[in-house]
Structure 1
Amino acid sequence: MNLKIYYFSGTGNSLAVSRKLEELLIEKGEIVHISNFENENSVEVDVDVVGFVFPVYFATIPDVVKAFIEKLYFKTNPYIFAIVTCNGVPSHSLFTLNKCLNAKGKSLSSGFVVDMPGNALTTPDEIIKERLKNSKNKVEQIAEYVNNRRTKELEGENNIKRHIESFVVSTVAKKLQFSPKKYSSTSECIGCGICEKVCPVQNIKMVDKKPQWENNCTACLACFHWCPKKAVKINKLISKRDKYHHPEVSISDMCLRK
């Protein structure tokens, strides 16, 4: 096994990108969800090619991805690439990831951005169709880079404006609009437990057939988008938007707690 792609996904966008890429790569290996290592103190990397695929949250890298990078122990000197999926604004995510890798004595050989439908802000239907179509073309381009071990400048913007932007968004939106107190279930909830199963950080527990949100939320909104009865309520802005998940990804693909 010479390849590992570590991914994190709430709506299935990053999972779909990981799958498509793996099909096109010469090196064969496996695709692994980052949450599988949540209870591990260290994660050994002993392959020739390593990839990270994850969404942009609050204009930066998700906390769960950052925590995962801190656990890595590299036994090899692999070709490392990363792909961020985003709703049109990658910000400085790839540069922040690279900084995390630098602390491990490693760096990204290449970094890419794939525009996808958003999980929080609504994406118009025509743009959803366009992005899903274009994403496959972009993944084909990425596969060419990885197969040939080519280096590429990181995509996105690494400037003070973007860092201030992510700080403000994280402070205001994450702590206020997406705080654990904002999450609840409506009377439409049937107690199926899907929200608990798709939660990548085990933040949801079913109590008397009703979901209870704890304090470890990563704001992936998987519970909101995958609820079959649209019974998850967060805040006024999010609760009014249409549900979305990648059309090539199923609930069973997302259920990390079987």
Structure 2
Amino acid sequence: MPAGGRPTVRSRRLGAALRRYREAAGLDQAAAAEAIMKSVSKVSRLEGGAVSASALEVRTLMDRYGLQDTDERARLERWARSSNERGWWLDYQDTVRPDYADHITLENDSTYIRSWEPALIPGLLQTPEYAEAVIASGPTFIAPERIRQLVKVRQERQRRIEGGGTHFTAIIWEPAITALADAPKYCEAQWMRLIEAGQRQNVTVQILPESASMAAGMSGAFVAFSFGVEPNVEAVTVRNVANTTVVESVEDLSVYVNVFDQLRSAAMSPEASTKHIRQLINNQQRN
């Protein structure tokens, strides 16, 4: 059983990949069960992410399915080994909801992250002061101690990009950035955080102009994740006021890829975005 007694995003991704390769090989679940000497029920639960597969089982199935790609084989074996790994976020399990934990797991495993934010600064780029204000202004009451814990979680998440462990592209609608001027207590520090982050080799920050309202209206906030050498989107998380949903179907993912490409095309260049933020800082300092 995956850690926590529920299907995890890691076990679901592994199961879905094994199902795709089985179907591509023209085999049924009975053939897969025979290969690893398990029941058809076990294969069904494995492909659904309800149970974990060992690295040996994954290797055997890949042999049976005729999968030759060495990078893909290594990746699936790595997923098998990590499906029950304890992530650092479990130290905050009294604070982090299961759906938020899924999002953090995807961040932690990713090689590429693409974020679209029409209303807020992305969590991976937030200062502690801004993060605290955002969390405290949510639709439900959160106790001060839990707010402090959630800010710590956000800071831990940021280590992923600060250490260069993943490529991060953020597109932010301009009103989310200019609205910071109404919060002089932390606006300059948050603007500077955006500039400093954009100077990292693995981080790209682009502003979608306020005038591009048609593009901004295509979708609410979402984050797209890639896990391999190539930046192919394999999962998307969509946040609403109640929870975070993981999108994994190929058809739905293609829609989000298309939306992000259109947003990126309509956004300012990284250089123009930095210049615009510097101008906001200058204006704030003159006021």
Structure-2-length-normalised TM-score: 0.24
Larger radius of gyration: 2
More strand by share: 1
More helix by share: 2
Structure-1-length-normalised TM-score: 0.26
